[in-house]
Amino acid sequence: MHAITDIDCTRDTLLDGRVMLTQPRNGYRAAVDPVLLAAAIAARPGDRVLDLGCGVGAAALCLMARVPGLDLVGLEIQPHLAGLARVNAEANGQAGFQVEEGSAAQPLHRLGSFDHVITNPPYVAQGRGTAPPTGSKALAHMEGELALEGWISAAARRLRPKGVLTVIHRADRLDELLAALAARGLGEVRIRPVWPRASEAAGRVVVSGRKGSRAPLALLPGLVLHQGDGGYTAEAEAILRHAGVFE
């Protein structure tokens, strides 16, 4: 286990400086995905939120920068990332962000129940792909103790009745994600595609489901990230720089 002071870190910002983020220079680094995840959460002040696999706290802190007064718990299996999430909570003045060390594969009864669970699970299925060279990044990207269905199951168990689970994942695993939501009784599913460019296939999807709802699925307007010249679209700028939300 590394002490926080032993980790080579960079100090970055998200949301055009609204969120300050200390994160490892090598290994998993927060980028666009946690910001998009936070932008899809219809949380209200006073809601209780769980960030399952919170890393250094990027999604949680982006959400808290937009919605004040949240009671937010982050669960992270890697102790050095959990430690950095605590550092980031303090640096951003977010005393309501409590970070716990632990695995989503273990019983999470001690955490209680939540109005929202948000998560950015490992993207690469068990037995597929090549693991990144660093162990920390491999844990963030490659499924380990839990496959996607198990991850969704763990998240759904922590939801209150009518609570909402919101996930960002690879678009090519949407079928697995929808099956996992249905198996756990999450309805009122909302799907938002994210396209790298208007001419390309979606690379990510942001998907939510409500516990115990039987409302039908809806495919909502998505987001195109980049213009032809490589710059962000106006819609992406509104989310990534100005703490906007998905319309």
Residue 50 pLDDT more than 60?
A: yes
Q: Strands, E, within the chain: which ranges?
A: 9-14, 19-24, 48-52, 71-76, 97-101, 114-119, 159-170, 186-197, 204-211, 218-219, 223-226
Asked whether residue 202 is domain-assigned, the answer is: no
Is pLDDT above 80 for 136? no
Q: Do residues 80 and 15 lie in contact, with contact meaning Cβ atoms separated by under 8 Å?
A: no
Over residues 66-113, the pLDDT tens digits come to 999 999 999 999 999 999 999 999 999 999 999 999 999 998 899 999
* 214 lies in some domain: no
Model confidence, pTM: 0.92
Q: Is residue 217 part of a domain?
A: no
Encoding tokens for residue 245?
A: 């939300």
Q: Is residue 65 part of a domain?
A: yes
Least confident of 27-31, 130-134, 227-231: 130-134
- In a domain? residue 199: no
Residue 154 located in a structural domain: yes
Q: Is residue 230 part of a domain?
A: no
**Element containing residue 236 per DSSP (H, E):** helix 234-240
Residue 69: domain span = 4-187
Tokens 């002490």 map to which residue?
Answer: 3
63 falls within a domain:
yes
Could you tell me the CATH number of the domain that includes residue 68?
A: 3.40.50.150
Total of domains in the chain: 1
